[in-house]
Structure 1
Amino acid sequence: MRWHSALTLLGGDGQIAADAWTELEHRYGEPHRRYHDLRHAESVARYAAEFAADPRVTLAAWAHDVVYDATPGEDERASAAWARLWLTRAGLAEEDIARVEALILTTISHDAPADDLLATALLDADLAILGAAPEIYNKYARGVREEYAKYPDAVWTPGRIVVLERMLANPRLYRGEPARERWEAAARRNLAAELGRWRSPGLDRQNVEP
C-alpha cells in the first residue's frame, strides 16, 4: 500500500498527503543515507502491509526513518513527531495519529506487547534485510557503517559486536511466525558471519558489515 492510499483511506486530505510525500521523498534522498533511504522505507511498507493490511502500519512504515541522523532514539522520536505533524495537517483522527506515532516509537527498542499485531508487522518488516542473501546483507551492513562514519573503528567495532551478540542471543529474531519461517535461519547465518569478521584480527573493513 502506498503512502497516499493509506492516508486517504483514513480520511486524510489528498493534497496534504501529496505534500507530505514530497517532503518524505526529499528526506529519504538525503546524501548521507547509505541504507536508510526510500528503498528501505518501501521495503518495510511492502512487508508490513503483507503481514497486516492496515493503513496505519503502512503510514508508520513509510515514516519510521524519515528523520535519520544516525542518532538512535532521537531519530525515531523525531520521525514520530514528523508523522504526527503531517497526519494532523491532513485531518486524520487523533486515534489514528496516536497509533501511527506509537508504532514508529516501537522501533526504538524493537519491542511491543506480544498481542500487538501491527507492531509485529512493522518490526518484522524492518528486520527483513537481516534474512536477505549474503551479498545483499553485506551491502546493507556496509551502508550502515558508512552512515555511522562519525564513529572510528575503535568505537564502532566493540559496539557492533555487542549488538550482534545480543541479537544472536535472542531466541527469536522475528516476532511473527510468517517472518520467522521466511527469514530467521538466514538472518542468524548473516549475523554470525558478520560477528566472526568483526572479531577477526586483520579484518578487511571494506568487505565487512558494520
Structure 2
Amino acid sequence: MEELWHKACKHFAIPEDVAKSWYTRINQRLNESHSKRYYHNWNEMMQHKYEHLQHCRPALVLAAFFQYYSYDGVQPCVKGNCAAFEEFCCDASLDDVETKNLILKLLGDKSAESELESTWEEDANLLQDLDLAILAASSENYNRYCQLLRKEYGHMSDDDYKNMRLKVLQTLLSIPNIFSTTEFQTRFEATARANMKDEISTLKA
C-alpha cells in the first residue's frame, strides 16, 4: 500500500516528506482501535482493495485513501473526509485545481466543480465497485466481512440490523448489475450475488 500511495503522490509532485507524513497519518487513523472500525480499517478494507487499486488512475488512488479517513457507521462523513483531503492539499501545495476538485467530487463534495466530468464519472463508478468488491470474496472472507460489519452496527438490535441488512441486500439483488464497470461485472457479479443470497438465507434462518 505504501508503494501505491507514494506512486500516486509522485505523479502529482507531492513533496516526499508530506507524502510520508500523510501516509503515516492515514494508516494510524484507519487503525484506531477506539473508532469501532471493525471492517472499514487498514488491514481489512484497504488491503482488500489493494489488488484493484494498482491499476487505477492516481487521482482515484488518492480518493480511495481519503474515502474513509473519517468513518461513522451512524452518519455520513463526507465533510470530514473532504476536510482532511483539503488539509493534505494545503500541506502539499497542490495547486492543480481540476485534480483537487475531481478528487473532492469523488469523495462526495457536490459543490466541487470539475471540467473532467467524463473522467469523474468513470472513476466514481470504479471507486464504488472497489467498495462492493468484498461482496465477491471467498465464502470464508465474506463471512468474516459480515461478522465485522455487524460489530460496526453494535448500536442496533439484532432484529433492527437484520431488517436493515435484508433491505440493503434485496435492493442490490433487484437491480440488473451490482457493479457499474464491465470488468467488475464480468469478474465478480455472479459470485457476489451467490454470497448475498447465502447471507439472506442466514439472516432469515
| TM-score where L is the length of structure 2 | 0.85
What code does the residue aligned with 1:12 have?
A: I
User: Could you say which residue in structure 1 is the equivalent of 2:32?
Assistant: 30
Q: Distance in 1 between matches of 2:39 and 2:159?
A: 22
1:114-153 matches, within 5 Å, as 116-153=121-158
Q: Deviations over 1:163-186 (max 9, x none)?
A: 111111111010111111111000
Cα shift at 1:45:
4.7
User: Could you say which residue in structure 2 is the equivalent of 1:109?
Assistant: none
User: Could you say which residue in structure 1 is the equivalent of 2:169?
Assistant: 164
**Percent of counterpart pairs with the same letter?**
26
Matched, 1:70 2:102: no
SS in 2 for 1:11: coil
The number of residue pairs the alignment matches comes to 191
Moved more, 91-100 or 140-149: 91-100
Q: Distance in 2 between matches of 1:43 and 1:95?
A: 29
User: Could you say which residue in structure 2 is the equivalent of 1:88?
Assistant: 90
Q: Are the aligned partners of 2:4 and 2:54 in contact in 1 as well (CA < 8 Å)?
A: no
User: Could you say which residue in structure 2 is the equivalent of 1:195?
Assistant: 200
Q: Distance in 2 between matches of 1:155 and 1:91?
A: 46
Sort the Cα spacing of 1:153 and 1:67 in 2 relative to 1 into closer, same or farther, 3 A. Answer: same
Q: Distance in 1 between matches of 2:118 and 2:142?
A: 27
Q: Distance in 1 between matches of 2:140 and 2:108?
A: 30
Q: Are the aligned partners of 2:39 and 2:149 in contact in 1 as well (CA < 8 Å)?
A: yes
Q: Distance in 2 between matches of 1:46 and 1:57?
A: 14
Q: Are the aligned partners of 2:139 and 2:195 in contact in 1 as well (CA < 8 Å)?
A: yes
Q: Which contiguous aligned blocks of 4+ residues in structure 1 show a shift greater than 4 angstroms?
A: none
Unaligned runs of 5+ in 1: 107-112, 201-210
Unaligned runs of 5+ in 2: 110-116
Q: Deviations over 1:133-190 (max 9, x none)?
A: 1111010111011111111113212111111111111110101111111110000011
Q: Are the aligned partners of 1:41 and 1:63 in contact in 2 as well (CA < 8 Å)?
A: no
Cα shift at 1:91:
1.5
SS in 1 for 2:178: coil
Q: Are the aligned partners of 1:45 and 1:62 in contact in 2 as well (CA < 8 Å)?
A: no
Q: Distance in 2 between matches of 1:48 and 1:21?
A: 16
Q: Distance in 2 between matches of 1:180 and 1:56?
A: 23
Q: Deviations over 1:69-110 (max 9, x none)?
A: 21342x23322221222123212222212111211228xxxx
| TM-score where L is the length of structure 1 | 0.83
